[in-house]
Structure 1
């Protein structure tokens, strides 16, 4: 059988990752830290040009000529939530990229699920932004979130950072007292934004606003949580609550068959905020009522991918057949419920 090549690109609001695989599922090349590819932030035309550039770079890294024929190009991008818009974007891509037999466009929530399972489950993203997607075995989707920082992103790094700043600002103004001392948060804000007075936050919140940089304040909040700062711990507990609420929102539509796998309902957790699971966990457990006799979800496992989400995008780009996958090597359980199955 002639070798078939597939490229998958996973694009978030901060950066993108590209991967090239062959028809046996072997990863031939991977590129991280590529430009962000949110079509609503960039515009469809500019986003399409960037996609072609990233695709070309990963092909060259994998030893192919940029003119080599691809059997499929799979794109799982932030902002691609509407099929009508995705179809418009696909039309633009086909005019620019003429070396791919097929081009598939889907939300960034689709990639992790495609990599981790063929039967469905939930993807819960908590990176710079947040999003939740339930896919049932019949292929039908149910969503919660994914509306961006003005309309949503609850539980995300941006949300935690913004909440931290609001606690500090309101407390300093004696407008609303913060639930805990704001000293650590205040100092972290000054260091992160390289400012000495609160009023200088205005430039970072308006004319010099950069969502990814703003959200990165959360890494300092995580440091505070590790050091035991009560306000930092409280912020992550609130974020855990918000992420759990995403699951509650889609739970009435979960097909019962998804609970019957070895680990119960699979929940694929994507994004840097999950690195602070130990601090998210109290709020998450409380909101899902996992410490009561009436939990909101009866049996589930929280999984993290050991491969890039771009691998899932490549899987989506395969129209003719399923890429071979060794699931025991692709996912890792970090928490499961009931407690008898808990690993974290």
Structure 2
């Protein structure tokens, strides 16, 4: 029986899991290691450890991985590697901590399963390279490129063609900028309306449409209502989500301020 089980295990294809983790949304996919055939996809919440902590992020990753495996009808013991490109990963220490926490959360993950944890910019450059990503991560060969990420937050990364250097610009969180991100756009819109209300800075365009969109988005009925969403109930992703409404106002309604 043991020989039969070993033979069956040898016949099963080894599996690879790919993860792209943002501040608000994480996407996962499962593929065969040899053929690259896609077997399943899954989604999860944000996996930036600076926002939610390593434990919460590992829980979300584990739930997503479980969903991938269940959808494909395969076992975790067949997973040969997990590649995770996550926002907030900035050095070897927090990459190692994420790997350690995920292994604790998934005790049945094979001991020889390779886990690679990199910044989401590195994953994006790798995905767009002719080498399929191996060159960029391993740091050898002829590849590299530039990626600009503009989601809930923003970041920019350049990886040299020979893999000898990786340079970053931005990605320092909403407190220091995240220029071009959804949060940055929404915050500027809110400030324009509230500054106009206070008489601090008169807006050259009508503010009513953007004001009404903000009121509706946050479920408030007056200007003071915004305070709870910027203090006790603050969620970066919720503020950022206002940008979708602003985009519709601009594209469909032609609102000048939006």
Q: TM-score range by the shorter chain?
A: 0.7 to 0.9
Q: For the residues of structure 1 that align with 2:69 and 2:171, how far apart are their CA atoms?
A: 30
Task: Compute the RMSD of aligned alpha carbons.
Answer: 1.8
- Number of the residue aligned with 2:38: 27
1:16 to 1, 20, 26: 26
2:119 is aligned with 1:111? no
1:64 to 65, 74, 93: 74
Q: Which of the pair has more CA radius of gyration?
A: 2
- Number of the residue aligned with 2:64: 54
Shift of 1:58: 0.6
For residues 115-144 of structure 1, what are the alpha-carbon distances to aligned partners after superposition, in whole Å with 9 as ceiling and x for unaligned? 211311111111111111111112221101
For residues 286-344 of structure 1, what are the alpha-carbon distances to aligned partners after superposition, in whole Å with 9 as ceiling and x for unaligned? xxxxxxxxxxxxxxxxxxxxxxxxxxxxxxxxxxxxxxxxxxxxxxxxxxxxxxxxxxx
Deviates more, 1:107-116 or 1:162-171: 107-116
Q: Which consecutive unaligned segments of at least 5 residues does structure 1 have?
A: 233-344
Q: For the residues of structure 2 that align with 1:36 and 1:222, how far apart are their CA atoms?
A: 22
For residues 73-127 of structure 1, what are the alpha-carbon distances to aligned partners after superposition, in whole Å with 9 as ceiling and x for unaligned? 1111111122222123323334444326200001111222222113111111111
For residues 198-244 of structure 1, what are the alpha-carbon distances to aligned partners after superposition, in whole Å with 9 as ceiling and x for unaligned? 01110111111111111111111111211222111xxxxxxxxxxxx
- Number of the residue aligned with 2:5: none
How has the CA–CA distance of structure 1 residues 188 and 50 changed in structure 2, closer, same or farther, with 3 Å as cutoff? closer
- Number of the residue aligned with 2:232: 207
1:137 to 137, 144, 161: 161
2:187 is aligned with 1:175? no
Relative contact order higher in (CA < 8 Å, ≥ 6 apart): 1
1:163 to 173, 188, 195: 188
Q: For the residues of structure 1 that align with 2:212 and 2:245, how far apart are their CA atoms?
A: 10
Aligned residues: 230
8 Å CA contact 1:94–1:103 kept in 2: the answer is no
Shift of 1:169: 0.6
Q: TM-score, normalised by structure 2?
A: 0.83
Question: 1:218-297 counterparts in 2 under 5 A?
Answer: 218-226=243-251, 227-232=253-258
8 Å CA contact 1:168–1:185 kept in 2: the answer is yes
3-state SS of 1:110 partner = helix
Detail structure 1 runs of 4+ shifted over 4 Å in the superposition: none
Question: 1:80-95 counterparts in 2 under 5 A?
Answer: 80-95=89-104
Q: For the residues of structure 2 that align with 1:42 and 1:216, how far apart are their CA atoms?
A: 18
Q: For the residues of structure 2 that align with 1:181 and 1:218, how far apart are their CA atoms?
A: 18
Q: For the residues of structure 1 that align with 2:30 and 2:92, how far apart are their CA atoms?
A: 25
- Number of the residue aligned with 2:178: 153
Q: For the residues of structure 2 that align with 1:14 and 1:216, how far apart are their CA atoms?
A: 10
- Number of the residue aligned with 1:270: none
